[in-house]
Chain A
Amino acid sequence: MKDELVRNVLGRFVPKVVNGRPQVPFAGVGKYKPKGHKAAPPIASCVDYHADGNKIVKDLRTALELAGLKDGMTISTHHHLRNGDYVANMVFDTAAEMGVKDLMWFPSASFPCHAHNIKHLESGVIDHIEGSMNGPLGEFCSRGKMRGMGVLRSHGGRHQAVQDGEVHIDIAVIAAPTADPFGNANGLTGPSACGLLGFALADSQYADKVIIVTDNLVPFPCVPWQIHGNYVDYVVVVDRIGDASKIVSGTTEITRSPDRLLIAELAARFVREAGIMKDGFSFQGGAGGTALAFAIFLKDMMKQAGVKARFVRAGSTRYTVEMLEEGLTDYILDGQTFDLEGVRSMRENANHVWTSPFTSYNYHGKGNFASMVDVVVLGATEVDVNFNANVVTHSDGLLLHGIGGWQNCLFAKCTILPIPSFRDRIPVIVDEVTTLCGPGELIDVVVTERGIAINPRRIDLIDAVKGSNLPIRSIEDIKAEVEKICGGKPAKPKFKDRVVAAIKWVDGTLIDCVREIAQ
């Protein structure tokens, strides 16, 4: 079946219908504002729950049966246990045992550990995935092996889709490092402690049925209750919800590559020279090697200049924790914790605050934190001469990454992409991105090892660094140099007609799509 396509405002062709639902093509940043009311779960009555608050059932199968699992339902899971998660695999193994088919899997993200579920995609237990697909699952989708169409959303876009009723979750299964029999849960303690459970918040509030799966049951009350038991239907206790060594790392490593360090240092210098680094400012740093290095360079510069931040948005690591504990920032507003120090600090420091896609990223809310951040550094697989960027596919056309919070973060006052201009022989600065995930109007600065390109729309930033000794160049100039080094313009990947995944913008419109790879 051939998909009917429509051209959106960026010139990208996107499907009119995705998995049976009509779509709105991207109309420009801030242009689409839906009307109506939010979705809501059915009214529950406490009469249907034990008055003593005990919601424990004997195993996951029982919980899924009681929740009414049947063919074609939407099942959600979450990625706060990252590459150590056992729960998403347990859910679909159990569904397979029960003989259920055609499920829609709605993860907040998937990791290589979830390649286990490929067999359930092949057998038809899972029809398709709506959610970030990393590594093997992405490749499976790219090669056209998934029955339904994949849908990729940002963390904020996922919240928006749930609250706006674009995705109705039948059953949410939430892995909980600590929980009580009532279903109150948090990620702060227990053998699988991961920090916080913000990615599961919307699911707990909007799903028809909510199942908590824990390996660390405590008597009521489990506090703080990051997930409220009042939303929860069933509690299941298992031996292990995850592999602790893959949930958080003992240490987060900064990059040792001299080229990446140079890029990170240039990005930090840009922030300083442009006058962004001043008392009371805010920034967002991630856990990637270059982003960590950026934070460390910036920290040194802040110390030298005697500057203190009001808040750091994270992805917390021991480096952000050090900044908090050394008094270089008043707060960490944390979306997920990447290492053990982050988890410890979240437990111990009142100013290490947990956030969720609702507070930080949801585009259909009465504001969100993303646009209040002064500067954010993000990665990309490709950036084109119009500053459009790609984070989901590689230049060879394969879908290998999710969007994460990337699209949401683009709304910061200054968005910087510190990236190499080419990786081995693969150009990163290109004429046109393979998949357009972020419009150029929101991407302000591209920092490469061969120079810094400022988006011509940001005359203020261009003026701010005039007279500095930063290597400012045009993006076309960097692209030309890269092509010369790599041996000419790269050929384009070949695709079939079939659309295998749709890429959502933060407001639920379609910004681009991914086609099945030829060969």
Chain B
Amino acid sequence: MARGEAGRRGADIRSDCWISIEETKSGTIEIEVKSKTATLYGDSIRSLIEDGLRTMGIGSARVEIEDQGALPFVIMARLEAAVRRLGLEPSQPYLPPMLSECTYTTSRDRMRRSRLYLPGNEPKFMINAGIHHPDGIILDLEDSVHPDEKDAARILVRNALRQVDFMGAERMIRINQGKLGYIDLEFTIPHNVHVVLIPKCEDAEQVKQVDSKIEAIRQANGISQPTFLMPIIESARGAIKAFEIASASPNVVALTIGLEDYTADIGTQRTKDGRESFWARCEVVNAARAAGIQPIDTVFSDVRDMEGLRQSVLEAKSLGFEGKGCIHPRQINVIHEAFAPSDEEIEKAKRIVLAFEEAQSKGLGVVALGSKMIDPPVVKRAIRTVDLAIATGKLPDNWREQHEG
């Protein structure tokens, strides 16, 4: 008899489960539940599985589950993956309800200072990601997922998009390259994905193909909200074509760089000072600014070195980047604090913004601060600084009322 298995088992597994399904001819459903939460949720696990098999059109099977405290959306994902691995196409997917907490939208120009990578096949990291308040979370289907688990991760990520409250963080996914990436899109785009990260981007064509694939899925599902794109430059060729990539579609909102692959591609190694990637990073900033989108820096991967992270963010900020990738929730606050404008910057920006508003109300074309003329780009930067200061809690919303002279 055919058998399908999905998930993970063992005493050191947390918040996940292992499910095996075997086709039978008995015409009945047999379920064996071993769960660390059997006393509290044993009956509920059993009925969840029964309901799932009914939904997917399976009437005769033997199911075993070994559960280490998996939440319902995880059990549902593992069950569907096991059924698909049996070689059965479910009559319909076993979708958990879309929670109202998962339906918020994003905007083109929102802050993207921190983006937290979450491995797409690891439920335990997803569940509490939102409480650390990153600007964005990335459900990763690419490098953090083993090639044999891509199918299971896709279903888990889809269910997480419908059930996990990321508490206002921008909801991103990183898809695989090529055809695999298109399947990733089919599984996830209908479930309120805000931004798609396109890995190893080398030309505009790649971006356009992903964009049109998304467009097709959006139309088929009647989705009105835009799905934005963030291409990742990870090769010498990609770096050369950075501007073409950044301006490939109006849906591109940010451009970022992945340094592990990039340094390998140019035949060197990543170092702490990063001289080897200096040009490429500047190129990304330049291309992004030229295209009117946000330049976002690479991931800082030493989770124990908080001072190193802070220095790295300050350096990224000085180069013109607006965001940084991270892989551990404790990195988020360090990133936000380092991107926050300094007290001096805020003071100066406030004076410029007030002078600008005064000039506008008087109908003056020229903004002046004391005896000095202020150029429009300086005003623009001051407005951005004030917005950032408000967003990071360093300046109250009503700062104008409190401003003295």
Residues of A within 8 A of B (CB): 258-259, 261-262, 395-397, 423-427, 449-450, 469, 485-488, 490-491, 493-494
Contact = CB atoms under 8 A, between A and B. Distances in A.
Given A259-B128, A259-B131, A449-B131, A424 B14 contact: yes
Interface of B: 14-15, 36-44, 48, 68-72, 127-128, 131-132, 328-330, 393
Contacts of B68: 424
A143 to B, nearest CB: 14
Nearest to B73: A487
A425 B15 contact: yes
Nearest to A423: B69
23 contacts: A258-B128, A258-B328, A262-B131, A262-B132, A395-B39, A396-B38, A396-B39, A424-B37, A425-B69, A425-B71, A426-B37, A426-B69, A449-B128, A449-B131, A450-B131, A488-B44, A490-B37, A491-B39, A491-B40, A491-B41, A491-B42, A491-B44, A493-B39
Q: B39, B42, B43 — which one has the most chain A CB atoms within 10 A of its CB?
A: B39
Nearest to A487: B72
A486 B128 contact: no
A57 B43 CA distance: 60
Contacts of A491: 39-44
Nearest to A420: B128
A485 B328 CA distance: 22
A384 to B, nearest CB: 15
Contacts of A426: 37, 40, 69
A394 to B, nearest CB: 9
Given A258-B329, A258-B330, A425-B71, A490 B40 contact: yes
Contacts of A424: 14-15, 36-37, 68-69
Contacts of A493: 39-40
Contacts of B393: 469
Nearest to B48: A487
A261 B333 CA distance: 13
B330 A261 contact: yes
Nearest to A450: B131
Given A258-B132, A449-B131, A487 B71 contact: yes
Contacts of B131: 259, 262, 449-450
Contacts of A469: 393
B44 A485 contact: no
B334 to A, nearest CB: 12
Given A259-B128, A259-B131, A424-B14, A486 B330 contact: no
B19 to A, nearest CB: 15
Contacts of A488: 44
Contacts of B43: 491
Contacts of B37: 396, 424-426, 490
A378 B15 CA distance: 25
Contacts of B132: 258, 262
Contacts of B39: 395-397, 491, 493-494
Nearest to A481: B165
A188 to B, nearest CB: 35
Given A262-B132, A424-B68, 5 more contacts: A258-B328, A397-B39, A424-B36, A427-B40, A450-B131
Nearest to B128: A259
Contacts of A487: 41, 44, 48, 71-72
A423 to B, nearest CB: 8
B336 to A, nearest CB: 14
Contacts of A450: 131
A30 B393 CA distance: 45
Nearest to A493: B39
Contacts of A486: 41, 71
Contact of A485 (B36, B38, B71): B71
A259 B132 CA distance: 8
A262 B330 CA distance: 8
Contacts of B15: 424-425
Nearest to B304: A256
Contacts of B36: 424
Contacts of A262: 131-132, 329
Nearest to A485: B71
Contacts of B69: 423-426
A493 B43 CA distance: 12
Nearest to A263: B131
Nearest to A261: B330
Nearest to A484: B99
B40 A395 contact: yes
Nearest to A394: B39
Contacts of A494: 39
A427 B69 CA distance: 11
Contacts of B328: 258
A487 B128 CA distance: 16
B309 to A, nearest CB: 14
A424 B67 CA distance: 11
A258 to B, nearest CB: 4
Nearest to B45: A487
B100 to A, nearest CB: 11
A139 to B, nearest CB: 14
A516 to B, nearest CB: 14
A262 B71 CA distance: 22
Task: List 7 A-B pairs, minimum CB-CB distance, nearest first.
Answer: A424-B69, A490-B40, A258-B329, A396-B39, A487-B72, A425-B69, A425-B37
A469 B132 CA distance: 15
A490 B41 contact: yes
A423 B71 CA distance: 11
B50 to A, nearest CB: 15
Contact of A425 (B41, B128, B329): B41
A469 B14 CA distance: 32
Nearest to B14: A424
A254 B383 CA distance: 42
A314 to B, nearest CB: 26
A396 B42 CA distance: 11
A397 B37 CA distance: 12
Contacts of B72: 487
A450 B101 CA distance: 15
A423 B36 CA distance: 11
Q: B43, B69, B131 — which one has the most chain A CB atoms within 10 A of its CB?
A: B131
Nearest to A494: B39
Contacts of A397: 39
Contacts of A261: 330
Q: B14, B40, B131, B393 — which one has the most chain A CB atoms within 10 A of its CB?
A: B40
A450 B68 CA distance: 22
Contacts of A425: 15, 37, 40-41, 69-71
A355 B329 CA distance: 39
A427 to B, nearest CB: 8
A395 B39 CA distance: 8
B350 to A, nearest CB: 21
A398 B169 CA distance: 39
B40 A396 contact: yes
Contacts of A490: 37, 40-41
A425 B15 CA distance: 7
